[in-house]
Amino acid sequence: MRKVKTLGLLGTGVIGGGWAARALHFGIDVIAADVKPEMEEWLRGAVANAEPALARLTFAPLPPKGKLSFTTDLREMAARADFIQENIPEQLPLKQKMLAEVSRHTGADVLIASSTSGLMPTDLQRDMVGPERFLVAHPFNPVYLLPLVELVGGKQTSASTIAAAAEYFRYIGMHPLHVRHEVPGHLTDRLQEALWREILHMVNDGVATTGELDESIVYGPGLRWAAMGTNMIYHLAGGESGMRHMLAQFGPCLKWPWTKLEAPELSETLIDRMVEGTQQQAAGRSIRELERLRDDYLVAIQQVLRQFDIGAGSTLRALEERLYQDAAVAPEAVDLDAARPLRLLDTVVRPEWVDYNAHMTDYRYMMLMGDAMDALYRLAGLDEAYRKAGGMYYDVETHVRFLREVKSGEPVYVTTQVLALDEKRLHVFHRLHRRHDDQLIATGEQMHLHVDTAAAKAAPVAPGVRARLERIRKAHSALPVPAESGARVGGARG
């Protein structure tokens, strides 16, 4: 498979919009093809609506955003795409026709995936040119935030196709789950369908409202499911003996007539109950409002799970590690002996960094200087392996001077000057600039102390790290010491 620089979308809609938002956010261009020209405006609106949540998902350094283009010409999309994701309606004949058509107009090394939630890949690839490069890649809404994507191959799909697709999806921050056997509905939708049928039965029988049934999930098992699936939760329910004891104790319940696996008839009465119940739950809020609410809590949950390196938090953590690695400046690419401050961080002020005064809030200035410091650490060799070995610098004193405002969307960069260094201390001076006019926005002076993290006390830095930092300090000694260095609080502003 070729390197994916441009994602082609065959059809747009809610799922296509989600694919577009995720790919663009992680630096991949998107060309979307749809027979309806009016879908371009809808698609751009969907991408814009997703951006605030995506921007908060991780603060790891991101590549420049991809560019979005739209066409009604399937052939144009096929010719430009490096990977194609089909998102047209769930009609087998229509999908077979369009997949066969697109396969005739794209490169032989371009993978083609379907977002189908239940159709079989063997049926979908039947008439395609190069069917071995086809697979199902079934995502979950919102695609731009939920990391799961089910990968299902058909009888003609090659193992290399599954492997290459998994690599691409991991690149854009997803968790590819290989479904090893074709079954209608794949894995997750079959589980969701069982729950959905029980909901319809209980609403139909007047047992509960849609709101009461949602509460039964939201305040209980839904919270557990965010990090552990049903099987692990039931394993815990068995105590020290785990699943074996759980099945012995609760297995007989499976013979009780609790559930109804067949769905009830969708009568007008049942439909009305479902509609009225969900409208009451929405409480007058629009779909876009509810989408933003959903996005906010999904970001928060994933960031919490990231701290524990579990579930979707593990996927987010792996993505961030890769983003930091990609953004790291290689030592050989930097002249450590140059008599100028290091410029190791370039970024853009994100919307959520702005406060009620319409400019970047105070602690975000500190965050950017911290990111610049992390870049210096990586340059000096203070990487993950070094931290795991028990060494790291801790910030013991910081003095930030706020000189000018900076607003959402403005490109900025940070330069770092090493003022002093000994076996335990590192003294640095940061300058935050607006990129388009090099205007100085803020300065930050910091003293860092090297620590043995296992012993929780100051300790000498490793010789190799100190040698790199010493080269930088020696070069920077030729620079003027910043006039603000060592200034008291309330001193003259630059």
Task: For residue range 405-439, list pLDDT tens digits in order.
Answer: 999 889 999 999 999 999 999 999 999 999 999 99
Instruction: Read off the pTM.
Output: 0.78
Give the helix/strand (H/E) hosting 148.
strand 148-152
Q: Which of 53-62, 122-131, 218-227, 274-283 has the highest mean pLDDT?
A: 122-131
CATH architecture of residue range(s) 189-284:
Orthogonal Bundle (1.10)
Q: Are 111 and 142 in contact (CB under 8 A)?
A: no
Q: Which of 102-111, 324-333, 457-466 has the lowest mean pLDDT?
A: 324-333
Gap between the Cα atoms of 86 and 91, Å rounded: 12
Reported confidence tier of residue 492, pLDDT bands at 50, 70, 90: low
Domain segments of the chain: what residues? 6-185, 189-284, 332-476
Gap between the Cα atoms of 174 and 147, Å rounded: 4
Residue 479 has pLDDT above 60, yes or no: yes
Residue 223 has pLDDT above 60, yes or no: yes
The string of pLDDT tens digits covering residues 122-159 is 999 999 999 999 999 999 999 999 999 999 999 999 99
Who wins on pLDDT, 108 or 260? 108
CATH architecture of residue range(s) 6-185:
3-Layer(aba) Sandwich (3.40)
Residue 112 has pLDDT above 60, yes or no: yes
CA angle 398, 400, 404 (to 5 degrees): 170
State percent of the chain over pLDDT 70.
Answer: 99
**CATH of the domain spanning 332-476, picked from 2.60.40.10, 3.40.50.2300, 3.10.129.10, 3.20.20.70:** 3.10.129.10
Who wins on pLDDT, 437 or 238? 437
Gap between the Cα atoms of 380 and 403, Å rounded: 30
How many residues make up the chain in this entry? Answer: 494
Mean pLDDT of the chain: 91
Which sign does the torsion angle of CA 452, 457, 460, 461 carry?
Answer: positive
Query: Quick one: pLDDT at residue 188?
Result: 94
Gap between the Cα atoms of 152 and 173, Å rounded: 19
Gap between the Cα atoms of 205 and 126, Å rounded: 43
**Residue 153 has which token pair?**
């191959």
Gap between the Cα atoms of 398 and 403, Å rounded: 16
